[in-house]
Amino acid sequence: MNVANLNESFADFKELKNIDRETMLMILEDIFRQMIIKRYGTDENFDIIINPDKGDLEIWRNRDIVDDEELEDENLEIALSDALKIQDDFEIGEEVSEEIKIEDFGRRSVLAIRQNLVSRIMDLEKDHIYQKYKERVGEIVAGEVYQIWKREILVIDDEENELVLPKANQIPSDFFKKGDTVRAVVSEVDMRNNTPRIILSRTAPQFLERLFEQEVPEVFDGLITIKNIVREPGERAKVAVESYDDRIDPVGACVGMKGARIHSIVRELKNENIDVINYTSNDQLLIARALSPAKISSITLDAENKKADVFLKPDQVSLAIGKGGHNIKLASRLTGYEIDVYRESEAELDDVEIDEFSDEIDAWIIDALKSIGCDTARSVLELDPEELAKRTDLEVETIKEVVRILRSEFE
């Protein structure tokens, strides 16, 4: 039979991508059996035949023929006199099958069936999306920017599933407009109000790791292992790599001929500087490599407290610290050591420790300067006030006053 409302439901069902025919028929039959139980009390003597491709449904009720005076349950049994009206050669003990019309259940029941059907379909589809992306956490996906809001971007994948890229998970220099293609890693998948919410990230270390796997075959094949990745998204990243094959140079393989491999990754990350270093279990050597491009003179380790005092020539201090302090922060995170940098003593003969000015400069200002490696008067004077302000987050006027005090010491 054909019923308009049910036809629409079947059409909706066929348009869904991820529901197989067997599951579809199971859900449809279950819904109609619920309707039958509600009306007749049982569905044991009913057969349901469904053809969703055409929108056809047949419901047959099977009843045993009994003598008119022995009729007890009209749902399970039929009187002989009534059976003979259907077919004149029926006898007691035989079974009669009658088709039940959907219209007999009433318009309200038909509408309820359709609503129940659509609800079950949507729940199944949502669960499929949730399970699919739950298995893809940590993988890169690509999608089209569909909507841009202040705090997040709505991305549509190739199956028109909705993904979310929060502002906090975007690289600071990212700029997208509707229709743009964006790549990101799946960072989180959960259910909110029975709806899957897939969170993407372009700032997670896993995004950089997956990019290396895509661009460097040796990483994808496992010949090169990424031991650790730390990032300041959009600014700088450090990647420690190791190869168990002595014939493979892990750093060279990751960078590629004339930097071809690393350049494509840098472009994807909006010109984020990427330092690739050889991993080693020697902590001193790892710290020295992590502070690249600065050249280290000596290192004193306190392994128990995970602290390292690094000594450099004066012209290497700013390189070790890096723009905005990113280099030393990332080196600390990569190695697990709290790193303090110091200038070598040769330049300190006519220099003064900045702590000596504690009677003129507040202690918190001195601590801010020391945190970026400026532990002597000359180390402060060698940098522009604007650069000092940027690295320490101190006010420019405060820096200028400090500079005035320090200069007076050498005049």
pLDDT in tens, 399-410: 999 988 888 877
Confidence label for 289 from pLDDT (cuts 50, 70 and 90) = very high
Which helix (H) or strand (E) element contains residue 60?
strand 56-66
Q: Which of 13-22, 148-157, 283-292, 333-342 has the lowest mean pLDDT?
A: 13-22
- Whether omega before 385 lies within 30 degrees of 0, making that bond cis, reads no
Q: Read off the tokens for 42.
A: 């049982």
Does residue 9 register a pLDDT over 60?
no
Phi/psi at 92 (5° precision): -60, 135
Q: Which domains does the chain have, with CATH numbers?
A: 4-131 (3.30.1480), 144-203 (2.40.50.140), 348-410 (1.10.150)
Q: Does the pLDDT of residue 113 top 90, yes or no?
A: no
Please count the residues of the chain: 411
Helices 205-215 and 260-268: crossing angle in degrees, nearest 10, is 140
Distance between CA atoms of residues 26 and 33, nearest Å? 11
Q: Which two tokens stand for residue 293?
A: 């491009």
Instruction: Tell me 296's DSSP state.
Output: P
For helices 283-290 and 326-335, the axis angle rounded to 10 degrees is 150
pTM summary value: 0.64
Helix, strand, coil shares, percent, the chain, to 5: 45, 25, 30
- pLDDT in the model for residue 13: 56
State residue 2's pLDDT score. 41
DSSP H helices, 149-280, are: 205-215, 217-220, 250-255, 260-268
CB-based contacts of 372: which residues, under 8 Å, 6+ apart? 321, 325, 388, 391, 392
User: Do the beta carbons of residue 231 and residue 211 sit within 8 Å?
Assistant: no
- Say if residue 12's pLDDT is above 60: no
pLDDT reported for residue 5: 47
Is residue 148 scored above 90 in pLDDT? Answer: yes
The 10s digit of each residue's pLDDT in 170-222 is 999 999 999 999 999 999 999 888 889 999 999 999 999 999 999 999 999 99
pLDDT grade, residue 411 (50/70/90)? Answer: low
pLDDT for position 350:
62
pLDDT tens across 71-85, in order?
888 888 888 888 888
- Which residues are CB-contacts of 92 (< 8 A; sequence separation ≥ 6)? 65, 66, 67, 80
Question: What is d(CA 69, CA 346) in angstroms, rounded to the nearest whole number?
Answer: 120
Residue 347 is predicted with a pLDDT of 44
Average pLDDT over residues 44-68: 79
Dump pLDDT digits (tens) for 371-391.
888 888 888 888 888 888 888
Nearest-angstrom CA–CA distance, 69 and 67: 5
User: Euclidean distance between the first and final Cα of the chain, in Å?
Assistant: 103
Alpha-carbon distance of 16 to 13, in angstroms, equals 6
Higher-pLDDT residue of 118, 54: 118
Residue 3 scores a pLDDT above 60: no
CA–CA dist 269, 262 (Å, integer): 11
Give the Cα separation of 214 and 270 in Å (integer): 17
